[in-house]
Structure 1
């Protein structure tokens, strides 16, 4: 027998043995009852962690519990991947620089049906499930709404049995751990992996190589064809880590693949052999820096360089992995768009467009037209912002230094698209070409990544109905004229599994009692509780649950902030990234207004209120950090002033994160969604809060518009200028001094901030804030909306005093927001963008 024949026979035997072993394993699946969980947890304490149960610490019990749950999830995960591979399914690949995952244990036991067995098993082992779960640190992979949306999307994709893989970066440190010192935000490293991450699996067999820097040589290949070649580049490696994503009540377990950067071993070794130990270590450190921290400060050139390196690193690893996966079951490039669809979550992964072109043209020697055809059938792009300044641009010199071949490809894409498409639409119109060019002229020239994403994508979507219309009308109006069918709407949602079932068990039990247990997968079923909105007994139970959540949060505030707050007060919550357009400073002006009124009228009849903030400001965003300090210093005065008689309190717990949101949201009475109309793309915090029975006070911005349509005008507090009125004010030459000089109460509180009352001996502490409102032109119309905001807050006060009315409104908010589930959002993506079909596993 020949050597080749022997190898084939051996391979066949090995395959048969593996199949037999797999079948055997399937017959002996790990158990999911209480006793099986108890045994498994104990085994992990002893044989994974090498600890005696009597001496194991709480964090070790947490690790052992996670491993026991993971065992059962991985069983489903491997079956999911086997079925997907066997059926050669079409997959969606989600590219996102952020995934705000939070803690996974509670979510995973709920979704996998292991909550009760795990809780009971730990109880019999002398452990408390809630205490054990609290040992987990939030996965530091995201910042705000964009990252949390990505996490919710992964949950819904698995729940709906849709084949999908998320790709991102395995950050060693998250955004940052926030502390306050004298009111200032202070940033510390977020070492989220300090206790280990039991959910992830390292995949060294799928390491990818990434190139950076170097130059391009223009050569002729062996067939006499022009062939640019990228040379003298540096290399690093991407090590993948997989995190299983469990669908609720389903057999499907997809996964999130995160890339960790490592210096190329070969490159390091060569440097070391030349006697450069220090240089070798330096190169290794530089290679590992790319996945070191989420959102490096890009106010400096080195920060910008690191940020672009992060983006390119993760998309290059991901695309190479997608191609590898594709050729594991296919051998024809024509089938690539048929079996793969790639979603760009904002412009952060937009460099994937020239990278896929490079891989197709340079590495796989495909001609331009065919490669570009594949790219435009494969990519889709989600826009998350209406702020022109937030649309990512990279300088041509930076690209030329870091990604020289990609710059050539972008210029070629631009030239062809302008001549073939823009010229056909607007013949001879050089001005239109300049407006639509991927390259913005200037010093230096800039690459418009949003434009690149639009041109290269099959579909572009906004994330709320208003947002999408504004994209068509303003931000991408020329593109809408050029591609009238390309821009569509996909209103955002949230996963009810985490944002009601897991974080608000009391309310979840009440809802299940009334409508059955199907609502976590069919959120529209919540509408059935609207018939109980006027039922006195239901109102009582609903509000008792809310009060219990407020008691729990009050205990947390006492422990973390050393401030006592009453659970009978109105909990007024604003939790979101600190940004001028989200207008935390408008909220602050209301606090100062109430404070001033109370100081001048001790008998002022207002409902007691606690103002609750949760936010981080980007390290380089000086004005946002000044607003944080202003809130903290005002809080110090208010909370320690006996003259207000406890009628108002202000609390700002440090280090806002998913876990804290899970405490705040069930306890909230009022949801602050007060961005300038036309600036918030969607918002998802508004959906989470409404789902948990908080009433919204907000502008007609983002998804607030659709929330009002769902809950009814009588169950929401709307104020402020509309998008059209905002535009009109700017066109007419908006002057904030007109409002400052004509409203004595507004003038009084701004003057108060300009004094040293809140920072004795420290004059002009809040000059950046007050200057932005006056001399800076008040770009987000805080002063223009102030009076109507105060009016709406007085309506809130009046409604809260009528507890029966408030209970009815709160119930209607929970009942009517079934539309805002990511299950609905993802179903729409699957149908209208990805053309993705569910694949049943078990």
Structure 2
């Protein structure tokens, strides 16, 4: 018997009451969760209690859409995108979900009526630091865009208990502290404890022939780890599509050995639990020692194995055939960290599902696509064969067989060209054999892409040139992008409101519509409005800088921003050398006219990266001298903003006037900070590197401050025998700056502090810092000159934002969908899951 109209209306009213979006409904939901989830009442509830209650209330509204999305994907024939990434630098969820649901203002009203400040509660959220930098942030942007474009997708990764470290600065040195982001709980995830997979590690392989005469391999593991799924709903902007981010936590199949405990071996009773849980304990353990390398390989295999087992289970549960796995899933490898998936897919197909080798290889190659994110040889992962065998003995056999058959094919195609064969081999030649993960990814994928036009071309010419020579059809470019929801609407609400007041809100989902701003670029009144908003954001950042660093900065000065991972190729030391040169000009001529400028640095150095840590120390040491020198008279200030993460980036980007994108040409694959800063109206000073090339093409050469050697010139200079010492001797300003550092001028007359950094610049300088110094300083003078003309600067700033449509992650994902994944939108409709039907 069907429900009556009255019953249906009653059910819908009940559903609307539970997950409605109005202020009063939201207020009731918060109070309900405060009571039923937190066990608190308002008089004793803490700020964290209210944050948790509000988050649960918002999550209810996500789950309504999430269940509808999952239900549709499982019942539809449409392919699902599976994104495998070791990193997801998501940022805080609450505010972003309020934006995507369209209830930010309603929640503000609800929180006000409860006597709570919404911004105060949002600030309570612990940021999940599940990524190191651009790679993880890109994955997060892509998850946002996949949902916004209504593309069926699952993101797979690791639920690290401890994320990227918390950074503190003490006496100028970086100090790492534990990022215990889960200490107060995580209201956004849903543990699926019934959804777990066994993952084998170590041990050995037994070979035998079955009754049918077929060769078989039986992997006898040294240990088994259980992977438990934790799901986070990822909602698209103003759509019902809510995709899944599934992160795996490692656990022991049996967490407590009762027999061992009874024998008095109390620590031994939980030893398996400790060993297994270590796998998902921390993001990127230090791998300088063999134990660290083993743990990293275990991490990579663990999440990939769980993810592939999960995909296969989903496919088979819907009646799919294992031979047609690629009809249901397309698996994108986000860099080489998940490349072991190629060998794991073969193991599952051949060993578990007993698929013949050739068919299994065909299935595998039709399932995987690979994104390369680096041109740095040291970043192309390799594993010592003996270490690899100790962790994954069966996979070594599989890779050896893949390689044997693959090189047979290469031999035929190249007429036995030994250089090509050696270059393409998945296992390196020589006595110390290594497994080359990029080669495994290339061999086992149907598509290979770079992440910026220049990067993709350089891949074809350098690190993957032999692959491109034989399989050019696999290669394409997919320039990175970032989501405007977080990086404009959420981070810069005042600027977003100004933009929407002129061109409407369509740009939030179609960033190309920002071109509508161009008609206002010469309008003096709009220019004034634009710069007023910029000044407001600079004042906000100035307050935060004072709170965090005790440094008072002038919001009217140029905010010159260099925020990213600290690395030699990103050349923070080139920037600080310019600061020293500018400082010396003032010291030599105290009455010199200098456009006031605040140099803002932020970023983390890898814990084991000595020179990167020295760069931070140098920046803070220069700041200590420059900021306190009365002769400078506050014309320049230097700030190192600690603990750079998504939250702090959201505060810095909107306030930036100048975006420092000064990596050595040919070293940065793409960059995404360059995009976020330009979207918020910052003007770029940069080299022709990564996505800078395309940004300059889009915003116009006249709105971009270009300096430095091109990639071709860098290579030519190196081939001719580049000698950095010649540049040091030829440029008095450069020589003085380096001599001051070397003498201890910025380190309390202790000349040894920066010895290693100075030696690397004068005698090695593989990133051509000294070669680009003169060009950089000259271009910085043009930046200062341009800033004097407020009308010109405002126009340039407006045009930078207006012409950034190409760099939306929505465009990137659409390119992947059209050219690689071959998937389209699958809109989700909300349904009443309480309604009963006969």
TM-score interval (norm. to shorter): over 0.9
Check 1:431–1:273 CA distance in 2 against 1; reply closer, same or farther (3 A cut).
Answer: farther
Q: In the alignment, which residue of structure 1 is the partner of 2:424? A: 436
The offset of 1:271, in angstroms, is 5.4
Q: In the alignment, which residue of structure 2 is the partner of 1:11? A: none
Aligned counterpart for 1:741 among listed residues 717, 721, 729: 729
Q: In the alignment, which residue of structure 2 is the partner of 1:803? A: 790
Whether 1:324 aligns to 2:335 is no
Counting only pairs closer than 5 Å after superposition, residues 216-231 of structure 1 correspond to structure 2 as 216-231=205-220
Contact 1:170 1:241 in 2 (8 A): yes
Q: In the alignment, which residue of structure 2 is the partner of 1:482? A: 470
Aligned counterpart for 1:152 among listed residues 124, 127, 141: 141
Check 1:730–1:494 CA distance in 2 against 1; reply closer, same or farther (3 A cut).
Answer: same
The offset of 1:761, in angstroms, is 4.5
SS at structure 1 position matched to 2:194:
helix
Whether 1:363 aligns to 2:340 is no
Aligned counterpart for 1:597 among listed residues 582, 585, 596: 585
Q: In the alignment, which residue of structure 2 is the partner of 1:13? A: none
The offset of 1:269, in angstroms, is 5.4
Residues 645-674 of structure 1, C-alpha deviations (whole Å, 9 max, x = no match): 000101112111000000000000000000
Contact 2:204 2:221 in 1 (8 A): yes
Partner Cα separation in structure 1 for residue 388 and residue 256 of structure 2:
23
Check 1:582–1:173 CA distance in 2 against 1; reply closer, same or farther (3 A cut).
Answer: same
Residues 47-93 of structure 1, C-alpha deviations (whole Å, 9 max, x = no match): 21111112211111111110100001101100111111122331000
SS at structure 2 position matched to 1:585:
helix
Contact 1:235 1:267 in 2 (8 A): no
Partner Cα separation in structure 1 for residue 786 and residue 723 of structure 2:
34
Counting only pairs closer than 5 Å after superposition, residues 157-176 of structure 1 correspond to structure 2 as 157-176=146-165
Whether 1:187 aligns to 2:187 is no
Counting only pairs closer than 5 Å after superposition, residues 45-194 of structure 1 correspond to structure 2 as 45-194=34-183
Q: Higher mean Cα deviation, 648-657 or 268-277?
A: 268-277
Aligned counterpart for 1:762 among listed residues 750, 758, 766: 750
Contact 2:761 2:770 in 1 (8 A): yes
Q: In the alignment, which residue of structure 2 is the partner of 1:258? A: 247
Q: In the alignment, which residue of structure 1 is the partner of 2:652? A: 664
Contact 1:201 1:243 in 2 (8 A): yes
Whether 1:391 aligns to 2:380 is yes
Residues 535-584 of structure 1, C-alpha deviations (whole Å, 9 max, x = no match): 01000000000000000000000001000000000000011111110000
Contact 2:597 2:635 in 1 (8 A): yes
The offset of 1:428, in angstroms, is 2.2
The offset of 1:818, in angstroms, is 0.9
Partner Cα separation in structure 2 for residue 588 and residue 70 of structure 1:
45
Q: In the alignment, which residue of structure 1 is the partner of 2:824? A: 837
Residues 253-287 of structure 1, C-alpha deviations (whole Å, 9 max, x = no match): 00100111111217845755776432232221111
Counting only pairs closer than 5 Å after superposition, residues 651-800 of structure 1 correspond to structure 2 as 651-775=639-763, 777-800=764-787
Aligned counterpart for 2:563 among listed residues 556, 566, 575: 575
Whether 1:400 aligns to 2:393 is no
The offset of 1:28, in angstroms, is 6.5
Partner Cα separation in structure 2 for residue 607 and residue 92 of structure 1:
50
Check 1:139–1:343 CA distance in 2 against 1; reply closer, same or farther (3 A cut).
Answer: same
The offset of 1:756, in angstroms, is 1.2
Q: In the alignment, which residue of structure 2 is the partner of 1:633? A: 621
Residues 808-832 of structure 1, C-alpha deviations (whole Å, 9 max, x = no match): 1000001001110000000010011
Whether 1:823 aligns to 2:814 is no
SS at structure 2 position matched to 1:207:
strand
Q: In the alignment, which residue of structure 2 is the partner of 1:623? A: 611
Contact 1:494 1:822 in 2 (8 A): yes
The offset of 1:232, in angstroms, is 4.1
The offset of 1:511, in angstroms, is 0.6
Structure 1: gaps of 5 or more residues = 1-18
Contact 1:799 1:805 in 2 (8 A): yes
Q: What RMSD, in angstroms, separates the aligned Cα atoms of the two structures?
A: 1.7
Counting only pairs closer than 5 Å after superposition, residues 475-624 of structure 1 correspond to structure 2 as 475-624=463-612
The offset of 1:637, in angstroms, is 0.8
SS at structure 2 position matched to 1:180:
strand
Partner Cα separation in structure 2 for residue 264 and residue 463 of structure 1:
40
Check 1:563–1:84 CA distance in 2 against 1; reply closer, same or farther (3 A cut).
Answer: same
Contact 1:493 1:822 in 2 (8 A): yes
SS at structure 2 position matched to 1:774:
helix
The offset of 1:475, in angstroms, is 1.1
Q: In the alignment, which residue of structure 2 is the partner of 1:246? A: 235
Q: In the alignment, which residue of structure 1 is the partner of 2:194? A: 205
Q: In the alignment, which residue of structure 2 is the partner of 1:16? A: none
SS at structure 2 position matched to 1:819:
helix
Partner Cα separation in structure 2 for residue 397 and residue 330 of structure 1:
40
SS at structure 2 position matched to 1:702:
coil
SS at structure 2 position matched to 1:779:
coil
Q: Higher mean Cα deviation, 290-299 or 261-270?
A: 261-270
Contact 1:29 1:75 in 2 (8 A): no
Check 1:810–1:266 CA distance in 2 against 1; reply closer, same or farther (3 A cut).
Answer: closer
Partner Cα separation in structure 2 for residue 759 and residue 98 of structure 1:
37
Residues 580-632 of structure 1, C-alpha deviations (whole Å, 9 max, x = no match): 10000000110110111111111111110000011000001111111111111
Structure 2: gaps of 5 or more residues = 1-7, 830-838
Q: Higher mean Cα deviation, 565-574 or 75-84?
A: 75-84
Check 1:229–1:39 CA distance in 2 against 1; reply closer, same or farther (3 A cut).
Answer: same
Check 1:345–1:534 CA distance in 2 against 1; reply closer, same or farther (3 A cut).
Answer: same
The offset of 1:430, in angstroms, is 2.2
The offset of 1:837, in angstroms, is 1.3
Whether 1:458 aligns to 2:464 is no
Q: In the alignment, which residue of structure 1 is the partner of 2:633? A: 645
Contact 1:268 1:284 in 2 (8 A): no
The offset of 1:768, in angstroms, is 1.4
Partner Cα separation in structure 1 for residue 531 and residue 558 of structure 2:
12
The offset of 1:220, in angstroms, is 1.3
The offset of 1:737, in angstroms, is 1.0
Partner Cα separation in structure 2 for residue 167 and residue 220 of structure 1:
36
Contact 2:88 2:131 in 1 (8 A): yes
The offset of 1:194, in angstroms, is 1.7
Contact 2:371 2:448 in 1 (8 A): yes
Contact 2:312 2:322 in 1 (8 A): no
Residues 696-740 of structure 1, C-alpha deviations (whole Å, 9 max, x = no match): 000000000000110001101000000110111011111101111
The offset of 1:460, in angstroms, is 0.5
Q: Higher mean Cα deviation, 426-435 or 41-50?
A: 426-435
Residues 771-809 of structure 1, C-alpha deviations (whole Å, 9 max, x = no match): 11012x200000010000001000000001111111010
Residues 127-174 of structure 1, C-alpha deviations (whole Å, 9 max, x = no match): 111111000111111110000000000000000000000001001111
Contact 2:156 2:245 in 1 (8 A): yes
Partner Cα separation in structure 2 for residue 608 and residue 139 of structure 1:
37
Number of residue-to-residue matches in the alignment? 823
The offset of 1:113, in angstroms, is 1.4
Q: In the alignment, which residue of structure 2 is the partner of 1:353? A: 342
Partner Cα separation in structure 1 for residue 813 and residue 260 of structure 2:
49
Partner Cα separation in structure 1 for residue 555 and residue 780 of structure 2:
19
